[in-house]
Structure formats: structure tokens, C-alpha cells
Amino acid sequence: MIECPLCGRKYPVGALFCSECGVYLLTGGPLRTEPLPEGVSLPAEWPAESPSAGDVGPQRLVLQVLSSGRRVVLRPDQEVLVGRLDVGRGIFPQVDLTPDGGLEGGVSRRHARIFFQGDRFYIEDLGSTNGTYLNGSRLEPYTPHPLGDGDELRLGQILIRVGFL
């Protein structure tokens, strides 16, 4: 049995949410973003697959999560929160990395935001625990950085390739 960490109600193993208070139960306890242990290694090489080449413009942004192959397409009129779902706290990111191993990969609930301004898409780390990296460089929190075709993002340990349609 799993006990809800918030209200104490008991559920069978495998229950996902507490029907009483809405807390996510998959781990059997409260969800926190833990700092990743020292020495966690990334893959030596990125996959060879690459989205279409071209100049950045008012196109649609494509995020490909490398671990799952899932693709998310964003329009210029969208501003999205990237992170992990937490029903109990009312956090519903438009790009939820939970199904891609976000919890285990150190993704914060409110990890980053992606938005379009002028003629470019930007990413901004929202003070995440394990950081947002663009092409291997850790981003300064709350400082927008432009995204380019073929860029490589890392949120915690989740790897994402950027492309444009």
C-alpha cells in the first residue's frame, strides 16, 4: 500500500494520484527535485539524427526529447512552461517532461520557459535545481538565451534537440 504523504489516505501500489487531495503518488512520497549526485555522466555522443537545417525565423520550434524520441512543436504565439506535472501544487507545464523520465532526470516542476520575441525563440531557466544547459553551457537563471537550429538543451539530465519547421 502507498500512503498519501499529504492526507494519509492509503492506496494500492500503482495508484498515481490521491483522490482526496490530488498529490502525485507514483513514488510513494512527496515529489522534490533532488540535486543530481556528483559524477553523473552524460552520453559521450549525441545521436546523429538532426532536424532540418536553415535560418531561424518566425517558424515553428521543434523540441525532440532524445531519450524518448517524443517531439513537441511550438508556434511563435505560444509561451510555454517546461517542467514536471504536480497536480497537488497546481503546476501544469505545457511541456511536461515527467513521461520522459523528468523526475529521475532532475527536472524541476517549473524548470524553464520558452517564448518567441522579435524574430526568435528564447529559453530562460527559472531558477531550476539542476540547471538548464544550452550547447553544454549552463544558463544564468532568469536570463533569456536565443535558440538556434540544431541547438542541444539539457534540463537536469534530459537531453533535447532543437529544430525548426
Per-residue pLDDT, 10: 84
**Per-residue model confidence (pLDDT) at position 75:** 92
> Which region among 88-102, 109-123, 128-142 has the lowest average model confidence (pLDDT)?
88-102
Q: Give residue 91's Cα distance to chain centre.
A: 13
User: Within this chain, do residues 76 and 147 fall inside the same structural domain, yes or no?
Assistant: yes
Starting at the edge strand found earlier in the chain, the sheet holding 110-117 runs 95-96, 80-83, 110-117, 120-125, 145-146
**Is 49 among the domain residues?**
no
Q: What is the predicted pLDDT for the residue at 141?
A: 96
Predicted pLDDT of residue 13? 72
Query: At 48, is the pLDDT very low, low, confident or very high (cuts 50, 70, 90)?
Result: very low
Q: Do 13 and 93 lie in a common domain?
A: no
What would the pLDDT profile of 3-15 be if each residue is shown by its tens digit? Answer: 776 677 887 776 7
Judgement on whether residues 11 and 88 belong to the same structural domain of the protein: no
Burial annotation 115-128 (CB, 10 A radius, 16+ → b, else e): bbeeebbbbbbbeb
Q: Look at 14-23, 57-66, 68-77, 152-161 and tell me which has the smallest mean pLDDT.
A: 14-23
Cα–Cα dist 118/124, whole Å: 16
Residue 127 lies inside a defined structural domain of this protein? yes
Same domain as 21, residue 73: no
Indicate whether 48 belongs to any domain.
no
Q: What is the pTM of this model?
A: 0.69
Residue numbers of the domain that contains 151: 61-164
Number of domains forming the structure of the chain: 2
- Convert the pLDDT of each residue in 67-94 to its tens digit: 999 999 999 998 999 999 988 888 999 9
What mean pLDDT do residues 30-34 have?
A: 61
Examine the domain organization and report whether 14 and 90 are in the same domain.
no
Give me Rg for the CA atoms of the chain: 17
Q: Is 41 domain-assigned? A: no
Q: Is residue 38 part of a domain?
A: no
The closest alpha carbon to 109, from 141, 84, 80, 142, belongs to 84
- Asked if the structure places residue 154 within a domain, the reply is yes
Q: Does residue 25 sit in the same domain as residue 67?
A: no
Q: Is 39 contained in some domain?
A: no
- Residue 151 resides in a domain: yes
Kindly write down the DSSP assignment for every residue of 30-65, as one continuous string: ----PPPPTTPPPPSS--S--PPP----SS-EEEEE
Per-residue confidence (pLDDT) for residue 83, from 0 to 100: 96
What percentage of the chain exceeds 70 in pLDDT? 72
- Report pLDDT for 46: 45
CA atoms of 49 and 51, how far apart (whole Å): 7
d(CA 38, CA 133): 17
